Amino acid sequence: MKIAYLGPKGTYTGEVARNLFPDKELVSLNSIRSVVIAVEEGKVDYGVVPLENFYNGEVRETFDSLIECSKTRIVQESSLEIIHCIGALKGHGDIKNIFSKDQALEQSGKYLLKFYPNSQTIAVSSTSEAASKIREGNILDSAAIASEKSLKEFGLEILDSDICPNNKTRFAVLGRDSPLATGKDKTFLVIHPPYRDRPGILNNILSFFAGFGINLESIQSRPDGKNGYYFYVELNGHEQEPKIQKSIDAIRFSLDPEFKHNDTIRILGSFKDTNWKG
């Protein structure tokens, strides 16, 4: 069995893939879209990609890539507490530059402004690359933000730990089969009303979920670039449950009674609710 994940090695996504599939062959790919396509084309059995972070929000590339697929679905969610540390080489001098992945620099923004107000942040491709760059270049005037494990792996000294507290990322396991209902599941939908800006459209959609007594876990609206919207909606319940099916039918009919559009509602997956936000 082969598992693709958003690499490179040593990233948080890699850690999740290893935890979930301890004995399987892991394949590191260099973009989210490549992971999704590898699953879609059957080149791997599962893929692991980030879905959402407390600080940075949802990962749009994951949703966009999933919408382009016909077989690939979210089959499992898994979250990881992100404990960023800052590290430098032993014998380092004043910290002029701080290397990390853009999102990690953003997440640590408050801390950096407080403790390193005069340092320059420098974005690199991954947290592990930040650590490796400092090690390989023997850079003594810079620090890296990464996991403790990653910093230690590259021989950096930990200067401070958990610099962005209360930070979690949710990851998705992607596959081509749909898991059965467990009794406590969630369903991810993308709703794309087939017309331009129309007042009250979101209220209309949500009134159906409310009417069927379906709770929303999360919602994001997003312009489609043509004066319309995509709505990403996560519901409590499994797509096989009658009330979920009825609500989807009702919304689809209300938005597109003649069924002229095939992307009005797309189900991105139903999977066990791990209550990751706690």
Q: Would you tell me which residues interact with a copy of itself (CB under 8 A)?
A: 30-34, 37, 54-58, 60-61, 64-65, 101-103, 106, 109-110, 112-113, 120-125, 166-168, 197, 199-200, 202-203, 206-207, 209-210, 215-216, 218-223, 225, 227, 236, 277-278
What is the spatial distance between Cα 186 and Cα 249, in angstroms, rounded to a whole number?
17
Q: Shortest gap between Cβ of 203 and a copy of itself (angstroms)?
A: 4
What is the spatial distance between Cα 61 and Cα 266, in angstroms, rounded to a whole number?
16
Q: How, if at all, do strands 97-101 and 216-223 pair?
A: unpaired
Q: Shortest gap between Cβ of 256 and a copy of itself (angstroms)?
A: 21
Q: Shortest gap between Cβ of 231 and a copy of itself (angstroms)?
A: 8
What is the spatial distance between Cα 231 and Cα 209, in angstroms, rounded to a whole number?
14
Instruction: Report CA-CA distances (Å) from 36 to 18, 32, 268.
Output: 18, 6, 12
Q: Shortest gap between Cβ of 7 and a copy of itself (angstroms)?
A: 11
Q: Are 202 and 192 in contact (CB under 8 A)?
A: no
Q: Which is nearer to a copy of itself, 112 or 159 (CB)?
A: 112
Q: Shortest gap between Cβ of 68 and a copy of itself (angstroms)?
A: 8
What is the spatial distance between Cα 58 and Cα 221, in angstroms, rounded to a whole number?
11
Q: Shortest gap between Cβ of 164 and a copy of itself (angstroms)?
A: 11
Strand locations in 91-184 (E): 97-101, 120-124, 142-147, 157-160, 168-175
Q: Which is nearer to a copy of itself, 100 or 147 (CB)?
A: 100
Q: Which is nearer to a copy of itself, 35 or 159 (CB)?
A: 35
Q: Are 64 and 230 in contact (CB under 8 A)?
A: no
Q: Which is nearer to a copy of itself, 46 or 231 (CB)?
A: 231
What is the spatial distance between Cα 165 and Cα 56, in angstroms, rounded to a whole number?
14
What is the spatial distance between Cα 69 and Cα 212, in angstroms, rounded to a whole number?
29
Within the chain, what is the greatest distance between any pair of CA atoms?
70
What is the spatial distance between Cα 97 and Cα 137, in angstroms, rounded to a whole number?
13
Q: Shortest gap between Cβ of 33 and a copy of itself (angstroms)?
A: 5
What is the spatial distance between Cα 22 and Cα 15, in angstroms, rounded to a whole number?
10
Q: Which is nearer to a copy of itself, 24 or 133 (CB)?
A: 133
Tokens linked to 238: 């499994």
Q: Which is nearer to a copy of itself, 21 or 214 (CB)?
A: 214
Q: Which is nearer to a copy of itself, 222 or 252 (CB)?
A: 222
Q: Shortest gap between Cβ of 259 and a copy of itself (angstroms)?
A: 26
Nearest to 213 by CA among 235, 232, 193: 235
Q: Which is nearer to a copy of itself, 21 or 163 (CB)?
A: 163
